[in-house]
């Protein structure tokens, strides 16, 4: 696969270079940072109108203007102090030897639960604020090998446990479409940063919806890949059986382009062996504007009715899918066993796994940091005042203390859920698809708009029944692709999810691309407008 990736990269680089020499390149083109895809960026670089140093400078300027100032989106935990230096080196390399890959020189926002050997990886907690891992997570290493730039580590819910985008290291990330609202979580910092155009590409992780919720709440594109398609090594665990990492971006093309750089077998992660012979190193050939013609899609209606505006946008999206040739099998519902997956499968597995998962991860860290969930719980519960700028959400540490006393992974509750519960939910989903002869399912990613942050309880929001269906993808380990579908009357984004069987990423990305290219529903937040120098003609 490595040889294929190298050949693919060389061909794409040659194609991009050829674009600069074609007659079309003699025509004037306009570059706009807020709407530029990765291909647009590389075309401007090929034309000599943009450098990677300038691109990185523009991204850093947006972070300076909008992250801690202006609307104070508050996405960044750690800026990479060497980002500009790295960009200059990549400019020099490009001039001397050409582009490593289509990701050469592209700034990336990395969720702060991915190990980075040159920047702290804290998981959002003050307890690990100074923890610098010994090595990059494989997904981070794959980015750097492709020539991408780790621009910043982004905020998340503490230890990725939660859905609000709040941590003791970063405080509350806010939604750039309405800073009174939360960005969802736990990859809220990445989602909000992409929406505010702090970078073209980001990394999130997903255990029960943590890529998809923030993608939806912030109106960007995301993918929760099939578990095993990407490596979990070097990612701070949440519940390893359900955890996966994946890219987030502003276009389906950028998601498809980047996903291929993360695939492959990782000897340290046995689950990746399930992807042997099923993964691709380039998903862009599957992106076709007519991908929806004649495709039978099942419409999942569970949890409709919780938010009339979300329902309205979803119904309009269904009409658009029909106009693009999709055959919709409407008003489908999951069996109770699938809808109750959190209580019956995820909860007993999480209770048993977290203790061991964290012991394994914490053992990889340098000396001086906690080595167990019990130690994490004890240190957190002893706090009587904020350690640093923000006080952690108190439930985080009581939860970790509870995990220390959880039943083992050899217990019958755990083994039954893992061996039988996951299979039962998987069978229920596939049964719905088989009975209705559909190739994928479509549903509103979030059944409600993001809640308002409660001003009476700083950094905590009123929790309501969000009616989430996203955890079904984690229990089945199936892929889910998220794409913007429109705005509510409150100007908040709504997205639809294309959900299908294991390793159906080529089809799902194709459906999402066809829908995106026909509708172009992604909208830039009004709170983070363009800055001088971000748009130019060349």
Instruction: Give the C-alpha distances (Å, rounded to integers) separating 213 from 65, 164, 187, 467, 490.
Output: 25, 10, 8, 12, 18
Strand ranges, E, within 33-192:
76-79, 107-111, 149-154, 166-167, 171-172
Cβ neighbours of residue 245 closer than 8 Å, sequence gap 6 or more = 114, 137, 139, 203, 204, 205, 206, 225, 230, 231, 232, 235, 262
Count, residues in the chain = 538
Q: What's the rounded Cα separation, in Å, for the pair 326 and 510?
A: 12
- The secondary structure element, H or E, covering residue 14 is helix 2-21
Q: What's the rounded Cα separation, in Å, for the pair 160 and 474?
A: 15
Please identify which of the residues 131, 210, 258, 504 carries the catalytic annotation.
210
Please identify which of the residues 111, 224, 355, 507 carries the catalytic annotation.
111
DSSP 109: E
DSSP 34: T
Q: What's the rounded Cα separation, in Å, for the pair 224 and 210?
A: 9
Q: Is 131 a catalytic residue?
A: no
Q: Is 504 a catalytic residue?
A: no
Across the chain, how many H-helices and E-strands are there? Answer: 18, 15
Please identify which of the residues 101, 131, 186, 216 carries the catalytic annotation.
186
DSSP 175: B
8 A C-beta contact, residue 498 and residue 481: yes
Q: Is 210 a catalytic residue?
A: yes
Catalytic center residues:
111, 186, 210
């Amino acid at each position: 696969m490595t040889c294929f990736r190298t050949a693919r990269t060389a061909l794409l680089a040659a194609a991009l270079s050829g674009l600069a020499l074609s007659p079309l390149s003699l025509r004037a083109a306009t570059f706009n940072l807020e709407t530029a895809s990765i291909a647009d960026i590389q075309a401007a670089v090929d034309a000599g109108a943009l450098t990677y140093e300038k691109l990185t400078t523009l991204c850093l300027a947006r972070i300076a203007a909008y992250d801690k100032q202006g609307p104070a989106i508050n996405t960044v935990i750690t800026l990479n102090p060497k980002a500009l230096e790295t960009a200059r080196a990549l400019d020099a390399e490009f001039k001397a030897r050409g582009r490593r890959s289509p990701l050469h020189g592209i700034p990336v926002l990395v969720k702060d639960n991915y190990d980075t050997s040159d920047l702290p990886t804290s998981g959002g907690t003050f307890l690990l604020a100074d923890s610098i891992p010994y090595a990059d997570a494989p997904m981070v290493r794959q980015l750097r090998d492709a020539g991408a730039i780790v621009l910043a580590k982004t905020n998340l819910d503490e230890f990725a446990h939660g859905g609000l985008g709040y941590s003791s290291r970063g405080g509350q990330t806010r939604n750039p479409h309405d800073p009174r609202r939360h960005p969802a979580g736990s990859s809220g910092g990445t989602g909000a940063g992409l929406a505010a155009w702090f970078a073209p590409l980001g990394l999130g992780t997903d255990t029960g919806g943590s890529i998809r919720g923030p993608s939806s709440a912030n109106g960007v594109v995301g993918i929760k890949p099939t578990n095993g398609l990407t490596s979990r090594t070097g990612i701070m665990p949440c519940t390893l059986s359900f955890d996966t990492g994946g890219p987030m971006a502003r276009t389906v093309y950028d998601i498809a382009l980047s996903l291929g750089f993360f695939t492959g077998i990782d000897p340290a992660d046995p689950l990746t062996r399930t992807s042997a012979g099923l993964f691709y190193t380039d998903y862009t050939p599957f992106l076709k504007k007519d991908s929806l013609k004649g495709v039978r899609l099942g419409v999942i209606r569970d949890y409709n009715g919780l938010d009339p505006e979300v329902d309205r946008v979803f119904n309009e999206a269904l009409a658009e899918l029909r106009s693009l040739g999709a055959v919709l099998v409407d008003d489908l519902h999951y069996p109770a066993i699938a809808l109750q997956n959190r209580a019956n499968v995820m909860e007993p597995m999480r209770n048993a796994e977290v203790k061991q998962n964290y012991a394994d991860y914490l053992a990889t860290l340098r000396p001086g940091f906690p080595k167990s969930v019990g130690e994490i719980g004890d240190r957190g519960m002893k706090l009587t005042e904020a350690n640093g700028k923000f006080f952690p959400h108190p439930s985080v540490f009581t939860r970790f203390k509870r995990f220390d006393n959880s039943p083992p992974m050899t217990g019958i509750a755990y083994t039954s859920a893992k061996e039988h519960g996951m299979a039962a939910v998987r069978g229920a989903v596939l049964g719905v698809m088989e009975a209705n002869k559909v190739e994928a399912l479509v549903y509103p990613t979030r059944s409600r708009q993001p809640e308002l942050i409660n001003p009476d309880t700083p950094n905590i929001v009123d929790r309501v029944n969000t009616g989430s269906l996203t955890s079904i993808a984690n229990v089945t380990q199936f892929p889910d692709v998220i794409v913007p579908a429109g705005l509510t009357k409150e100007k908040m984004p709504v997205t639809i999810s294309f959900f299908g069987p294991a390793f159906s990423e080529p089809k799902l990305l194709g459906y999402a691309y066809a829908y995106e290219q026909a509708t172009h529903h992604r909208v830039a937040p009004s709170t983070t407008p363009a800055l001088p120098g971000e748009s130019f003609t060349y």
